[in-house]
Amino acid sequence: MSDLDTLQSKILADIASASDEAALEAVRVAALGKKGSISALLSTLGKMAPDERKTEGAKINLAKDAVMRALAARREVLKSAALDARLASETIDVTLSLRETPAEAGRIHPLSQVWDEVTTIFADMGFAVAEGPDIETDDYNFTRLNFPEGHPAREMHDTFYFNPKDDGSRLLLRTHTSPVQVRTMLSQQPPIRVICPGRTYRSDSDQTHTPMFHQVEGLVIDKSSHLGHLKWILHEFCKAFFEVDNVNMRFRPSFFPFTEPSLEVDIQCRRDKNEIRFGEGEDWLEILGCGMVHPNVLKLCGIDPEVYQGFAWGMGIDRIAMLKYGIADLRQLFEGDVRWLTHYGFKPLEIPTLAGGLSIQ
């Protein structure tokens, strides 16, 4: 056996025993790489006499071809073995139950849900949504809403004030969302149809009050807007929101500095232990306050009360959320307890729509 035969047999044996593609590549480099054994033999050809070069060259090239074929064949074998191993280890058990994705595992807070439901209902009636800052001036929060200077109505609100500035003026945390309507009237001419949902603040904390809470107010101003329109809007809202075909409403006289006349609205209901049903029963539940916008407010907000008139209403988002979804304690809304949210929250991909029955899933 010539040296070349021995070398070829050794390389072919190494190829046969290479157990993966990396080992096979090492064998290839050792034989055919720049400093490989076969390459070394080929480089000796240059120093040979022409006849010898012809015969030796042919032999070496035959050996090289044999090695290259063996490498290619072994590579195929190893590749399909690697694929078989992967397929065996990566099988999918289609009978396993689905894992919730993080997006589906989260829950929408009932207040966010109700906020969306309320804006959806009023948007459908043609209302725009307006928002404004939580930190307000005394002027927008009180003065332009017809709260007279030094009037007890200002104390009624338990306001959180910031330290006074050099000129004596004080910023405050808005006690209602009405300053957003003030800003709307100052920047737009009628007709105006807006709702203003937002956070509001009063220094008050007990079982039924938290220092931060949520309100949604509505404002309509046009040449001949009247209480009949207001009653229709509120009736439509209550039916859509509480998802019943009919609700009975009761309007009682009340007082707010920014409306005249002012009214409070109750809806009829039946309380069965922990459940409330609307549209039937003998009980009455107060859900909002409303009235015709006071002419002084129109004047202070740049609207001529001789030409325009309008109505407004305000209700607590937290309160109507508790009523609709049977939440007993207001403070639970703000505790951030994930177990509570898992129970009372809503699936994030189920956005309330009127066509979908708002909350019906």
Residue ranges in contact with ligand 2NL by CB under 6 A: 145, 178, 181-182, 215, 217, 219, 256, 258-259, 289-291, 293, 297, 312-316
Q: Which is nearer to ligand 2NL, 70 or 288 (CB)?
A: 288
Q: Which is nearer to ligand 2NL, 110 or 289 (CB)?
A: 289
Q: Which is nearer to ligand 2NL, 116 or 217 (CB)?
A: 217
Residue 139 neighbours by CB distance under 10 Å: 13
Q: Which is nearer to ligand 2NL, 308 or 346 (CB)?
A: 308
Q: Which is nearer to ligand 2NL, 69 or 226 (CB)?
A: 226
Q: Amino acid letter at 99? A: R
Rounded to whole angstroms, how far apart are CA atoms 28 and 32?
6
Matching residue, tokens 């338990």: 158
CB of 96 to ligand 2NL, least distance (A): 50
CB of 234 to ligand 2NL, least distance (A): 12
Q: Which is nearer to ligand 2NL, 118 or 290 (CB)?
A: 290
How many residues can be counted in the chain? 361
Q: Give the CB-nearest residue to ligand 2NL.
A: 314
Q: How far is CA 217 from CA 34, 178, 249, 253, 289, in A?
A: 83, 7, 18, 19, 9
CB of 199 to ligand 2NL, least distance (A): 13
Q: Which is nearer to ligand 2NL, 187 or 353 (CB)?
A: 187
Is 115 in contact with 122 (CB distance < 8 Å)?
Answer: no
The residue ranges of DSSP E strands in the chain, in sequence order, are 128-129, 135-137, 171-173, 192-201, 212-222, 249-256, 259-272, 275-278, 283-293, 309-316
The residue ranges of DSSP E strands in 223-282, in sequence order, are 249-256, 259-272, 275-278
- Cross-strand pairs, 137: 171
Q: Amino acid letter at 301? A: C
CB of 286 to ligand 2NL, least distance (A): 8
If we measure between CA atoms, which residue out of 353, 331, 275, 326 comes closest to residue 113?
A: 353
Residue 318 neighbours by CB distance under 10 Å: 22
